[in-house]
Amino acid sequence: MNLVRRFAEVLVPALLVLATALLALEVSSYLQAYFLDTLIKVAIVVGLYVFIGNSGLLSFGQISFVAVAAWTPGVLTVPQASKPIAMPGLAHFLVTTNVGNITSLALAAVIGGAFAFAVGLPLMRLSCLAAENAAPSQHAFERAFEAEQAKNLADLIDRLSVLRA
Residue 38: predicted pLDDT: 81
Are residues 99 and 90 in contact, defined by beta-carbon separation less than 8 angstroms? no
Between CA 41 and CA 146 the distance in angstroms is 17
Q: Domain segments of the chain: what residues? A: 1-58, 59-165
Residue 164: predicted pLDDT: 59
pLDDT beneath 70, residues of the chain: 1, 55-61, 126-165
Between CA 106 and CA 18 the distance in angstroms is 21
| Segment 96-121, tens digit of pLDDT | 888 888 888 888 889 988 988 888 77
Residue 162: predicted pLDDT: 62
Burial (CB count <10 Å: 0-12, 13-18, 19+), residue 124:
exposed
Q: What is this structure's pTM?
A: 0.56
Residue 146: predicted pLDDT: 63
Residue 18: predicted pLDDT: 84
Residue 137: predicted pLDDT: 53
Handedness of CA 18, 38, 136, 145 (dihedral sign): positive
